[in-house]
Amino acid sequence: MNSVVGDHTLPGGQILQIVQGDITHESTDAIVNAANQYLQHGAGVAGAILRGGGQTIQVESDAWVQSHGTVSHAQPAWTSGGNLPARYVIHAVGPIWGDGDEDGKLSSAIKGSLKVADKLDLESLALPAISTGIFGFPMERAAEVILDAIENYFSVYTASSVKLVRVVLFDPPSVNVFMKRWQEKRWR
């Protein structure tokens, strides 16, 4: 069962939460997949989403790439949630550590995911620590970039339809890293 370990209301009224658990169990309107540009969902978060949501997600992902081309950092793709509790999966491509401008690319992936949620008129979104798995992005740095990108997005897009963002982290060490950054921001 997923449990909230941090809860903060941003100046615009949006609620930001840190959650320990499994993103595939989230019942938010959408969950974010840490995807590759070709939307081939094999391992990590993408593999878990495919296992939980079913083959429909891969079929829709293949159709997306065939229709729109590869996915960029700033413009995520989206599919249905298949068999998942979430209605949609937003497929965000994070940076591979060592490719350059990793902070900017990760920030773009977060902001792009929030833009897609707004385009779909969604109220809630859950996202993982994008790029911190096989893409090698350091967790400490990712926590800073992800939390700052969410906060910055809502300071610019004050009329966003999104009212709840949950950062869902699978293991206690990841939660601890994000909570350290959370406390540095003086959130309660």
The model's pTM is: 0.96
Strand order in the sheet with 3-9: 3-9, 15-20, 164-169, 124-127, 30-35, 88-93, 77-80
Task: Let me know: does 165 contact 17? Beta carbons within 8 Å.
Answer: yes
Which CATH code, of 3.30.70.141, 3.90.1170.40, 3.40.220.10, 3.40.50.300, is assigned to 3-184? 3.40.220.10
Boundaries of every domain in the chain:
3-184
| Residue range 7-40, pLDDT digits in tens | 999 999 999 999 999 999 999 999 999 999 999 9
Measured CA to CA, the distance from residue 119 to residue 105 in angstroms comes to 20
Among the listed residues 186, 188, 120, 182, the one whose alpha carbon sits nearest the alpha carbon of residue 150: 182
| Residue range 43-92, pLDDT digits in tens | 888 899 999 999 999 999 999 999 999 999 999 999 999 999 999 999 99
| Residue range 147-161, pLDDT digits in tens | 999 999 999 999 999
Measured CA to CA, the distance from residue 108 to residue 104 in angstroms comes to 6
